Amino acid sequence: MTSTETRMAGRLGDSPLRPDGTLKVTGEFAYSSDLWHDDMVWGVTLRSPHPSARIRAIDLTDALRVPGVSAILTAKDVPGENAVGLEHLDTPALADGVVRYQGEPVALVAADHPETARRAAARIVVDYEVLPAVTDPRTALDPDTPWVHADHDNLVRDLRIRRGDPSPTAPVVVSLDFEVGMQDQAFLGPESGLAVPDGEGGVDLYVATQWLHVDQGQVCRVLGLPPEQVRLTLAGVGGAFGGREDLSMHVHACLLALHTGKPVKMSYARDESFFGHVHRHPAWLRYEFGARETGELVYAKADILFDGGAYASSTPAVVGNGGTLGLGPYRIPNVHVDARGVYTNNPTCGAMRGFGCVQAAFAHEALMDELADRIGMDRVEIRALNGMVEGDLTITGQVVDSAAPVAELIRTVRDLPLPAEPAGERDIRELPGGASNTTHGEGVRRGIGYAVTYKNVGFSEGFDDYSTARVRLEVVGGEPVATVHTAAAEVGQGLITIEQQICRTELGVEQVVVHPKDTTVGSGGSTSASRQTYVTGGAVKAACEAVRASVLRRASEALGRAELRLDGEKIVAAGGEVVASLAEVLTDPVEETVEWRHRPTYPIDPETGQGNAHVQYAFSAHRAVVDVDVELGLVKVVALDTAQDVGRALNPDAVVGQIQGGSAQGMGLALMEEIVVQDGIVKNPSFTDYLIPTILDMPPMQVKVLEYADPHAPYGVRGVGEPPTISSGPAVAAAIRAATGKPLRRVPVRPEHITF
């Protein structure tokens, strides 16, 4: 028997059906809010109505009298350390004596029905002494501003980058101030989970999250339990976008479960969800670019301020990205950047898709347009002229050691066909306001805008960024079956599909089972920073290679043959002869577990900001075409086209899906998405008042995918998920500026910014 090259469907480069796809579109997928246990009780959270207050007393008397209540817990009931946090342990699991933002958890109630628990929570009497709130981040560091945390000042992180001439000059200088509002991740599946006590002092938590092992560590700390007694399993996740990187109900449900001895389910309503997770940092940015009259950038200065809110969350990393990447994908010899994150009594801000780069991109791209206009240069060509190429240095002095096709990306989107110019009487559905019969086109003007960006992939600045994969190969029912087990969270991005594709490709088996994501295998790291296909993909690849080596070693020993290889589900000799089936060799299962790391990164120098902070960069460009009714302030995005280098598209459909979704999220920030906070109070915690783009708002997209493989990454992949969120919004803002002629130095661009 002679082998032929086996090509089964569902390998890398294909776009197989997602295992969760049909269930999701038919409404049968079990999200975390669908979790159920027959004898469970319901947990709810009492939250602070004040952004800053001292808790003088908590009276539970009336609440405990509500029939059906099985437990009410406050900070004094925390058995371990009452402190959680991704980077700083500054966040109480339950407020202890002081609250620092509106919505901070103060008490927990477990009852036989969620409404009963809510009624009981409403009867808890908290005696607050309202304190002055720090709500303006621009004065948070002033000497006379109160400290949000008693033990240190309001500075979370201060990052500086100094490169080249400290006092540069240039013949053309442009500067601007920019402001970015607070965006919400707006995932559709609210925070929810189920904690089940094991009867031996431990607990199993089923929860929608992004990073099981870091969750586990934090829950253990608060419960005072070792990891063996706190086991986490990923429940169905309805989107994340960074908003599930911090804890929400995890600790609370476990506290109630261990206290009552019963399974406890917690599921936030939409309004509570707005208080249950962190948001994208609002930012204030002051930029200055200097350039030659021929367009080459000479220097850049930036002062970036992020409002971190009450607790640190991911603010240090957001400052890190905002600072090190905040001047865009350009060659700039002289650099002076200050980036800071501060504490306030506003809602806590942390991880969100794009992570510090989103805010900065609005500023640097607006400034590139202004520079082009000042010297009379084409807005695309000035980006192409200054765009990084492979081998260039970033502003931290790091060599970009794989493709950096900035010029190609921006020219590619420019050259895509434009939508037809409006002419004659128009269908109102195509106009701003659409079918609402708002305008018939009287005040409508068209504008086109461009933007480019780059984003780091994976965790940076020396973080030990790794993932673990366990792959088992065995015969089930006469067929070889691979089981892949990682703790890397599937949040809707398609990781489980990629894990299957890698196994099929590396092991040649058709049947690949994805083990539930849990903490019985090593950490997969966070599903964030566009990293899972790269890092967990790398781990799965490495585990498969180890399994394959074991199988072939076993085959060699059993068959007395050397130089064997796997082809499909067959063992093939060097000459192509099939010497055994895979099933024949797999008399016992083969299992390998691999912990895989990408190349190391390093902390940047605290004085100069120089260093190899990042492992990989991903580049994208957008072109937006908008129609703006300049009298009414409404915007219709007519087209949003993009080009992105993805290294290698392991799953082309998933790549395009990520690009489309990310573009929508960036467009949302440019046009409508903002959590409005006044004096520390959230004014719009609902999807009625917090708008996100719908299918009516999304224009057709032309997506051009470039594949310049990164030689340092598994399969050459490059992170995909975040860049489109970064460059889409600035392109939309630029297009609105082009249509209106207004400077528009704040996003979201609100109607009143256009009409006045």
Partner 1 sequence: MDLNTVTGYRRARTRADLALGPGERILGGGTWLYSEPQLDTTGLVDLTTMGWAPLTRTDEGLSIAATCTIAELLAHPDRPPLAVECANALLASSTIWTVATVGGNVCRAFAAAGMVALCAALDGVALVWAPSGGGRHDYRIPVAELATGNGTTSLAPGEVLRALEIPARVLAARTAFRKIALAELGRSGAVLTGRVDPGGEAVFVITAATASPTVLRYPALPGAAALRADVDAAVGYYTDPLGSADWRRQVSGVLLEEIRQELA
Query: In the complex, what is the shortest distance from the CB of residue 689 to partner 1, in angstroms, rounded to a whole number?
Result: 5
Which residue in the set 115, 142, 165, 679 belongs to the binding site for partner 1 (CB under 8 A)?
115
Candidates 169-177, 583-591, 640-648, 676-684; binding stretch for partner 1 (CB under 8 A): 676-684
Can you read off the two tokens belonging to residue 69? Answer: 């209540």
Count of CB atoms within 10 A of residue 34's CB? 14
> What is the C-alpha separation between 713 and 535, in angstroms, rounded?
9
**Residue 358: CB minimum distance to partner 1, A:** 21
- Contact with partner 1 (CB under 8 A) among 37, 88, 118, 160: 118
User: Considering the complex, what minimum distance in angstroms separates the CB of residue 6 from partner 1?
Assistant: 50
Q: Which of residues 416-455 bind partner 1 (CB under 8 A)?
A: 433-438, 440, 442-443
DSSP 189-248: S-SEEEEEE-SSS-EEEEE--SBHHHHHHHHHHHHT--GGGEEEEEPPP---TTTTSS-S
Number of chain residues interacting with partner 1 (CB under 8 A): 37
For 526, the token pair is 């966070």
Region binding partner 1 by CB under 8 A among candidate stretches 272-280, 395-403, 593-601, 671-679 = 671-679
Q: Facing residues of 642 across strands?
A: 622, 703
Distance CA 206, CA 192 (A): 9
The region of 21-29, 166-174, 680-688, 720-728 touching partner 1 under the rule CB under 8 A is 680-688
203's tokens: 């607990």
Q: Which two tokens stand for residue 24?
A: 């999701």
Q: H-helix or E-strand containing 272? A: helix 270-276
Which residue is associated with the tokens 């919004």? 729
Q: Given the complex with partner 1, which of 187 and 690 has the nearer CB atom?
A: 690
Of residues 271 and 545, the one with the C-beta less far from partner 1: 271
Q: How far is the CB of 438 from partner 1 (least distance, A)?
A: 5
Position among 72, 108, 672, 731 found at the interface with partner 1 (CB under 8 A) = 672
Among 28, 127, 378, 689, binds partner 1 (CB under 8 A): 689
Q: How far is the CB of 19 from partner 1 (least distance, A)?
A: 32
Does 6 sit near partner 1 (CB under 8 A)? no
Range 122-161, binding partner 1 (CB under 8 A): 122
> Using CA atoms, how far apart are residues 724 and 667, in angstroms rounded to an integer?
10
DSSP letters, 616-649, are -EEEEEEEEEEEEETTTTEEEEEEEEEEEE-SS-
**What Cα–Cα distance (Å) separates residue 314 from each residue in 134, 222, 272, 477, 656?**
20, 20, 21, 48, 28
Kindly report each contact of residues 9-15 with a partner whose C-beta sits within 8 Å and lies 24 or more positions away, as own/partner: 10/500, 10/501, 10/504, 10/510, 11/501, 11/504, 11/505, 12/501, 12/502, 12/505, 12/650, 12/651, 12/715, 13/649, 13/650, 13/651, 13/652, 14/501, 14/651, 15/651, 15/652, 15/653, 15/654
Residue 403 CB, nearest approach to partner 1 (Å): 38
**Near partner 1 by CB under 8 A: residue from 87, 338, 697, 707:** 697
Which of 113, 138, 152, 292 binds partner 1 (CB under 8 A)? It is 113
Closest separation in Å from C-beta 733 to partner 1: 16
Nearest to 592 by CA among 522, 683, 489: 522
Count of positions (residues) in the chain: 756
Task: Kindly identify the residues of this chain, within the stretch 339-378, that bind partner 1 according to CB under 8 A.
Answer: none
Residue 668 Cβ vs partner 1, minimum distance, rounded to whole Å: 10
Name the minimum Å distance from CB 130 to partner 1: 24
Query: Of residues 674, 699, 734, 738, which one binds partner 1 by CB under 8 A?
Result: 674
744 backbone φψ class: left, alpha, beta (φ>0; ψ -120 to 50):
left
What DSSP character marks residue 682? E
CA 475, CA 481: separation in Å to the nearest integer?
Answer: 6
Q: Tell me the closest approach of the beta carbon of residue 121 to partner 1, in angstroms.
A: 11
Q: Closest approach of Cβ 303 to partner 1, in Å?
A: 28
Smaller CB separation from partner 1, 429 or 599: 429
Site string for partner 1, 630-669 (x = CB under 8 A): -xxxx-----------------------------------
Tokens representing 392 are: 């260039």
Q: Which positions from 726 through 755 interact with partner 1, judged by CB under 8 A?
A: 750-752, 755
Q: Would you tell me which residues interact with partner 1 (CB under 8 A)?
A: 113, 115-116, 118-119, 122, 433-438, 440, 442-443, 631-634, 672, 674, 676, 683-684, 688-691, 693-694, 696-697, 750-752, 755-756
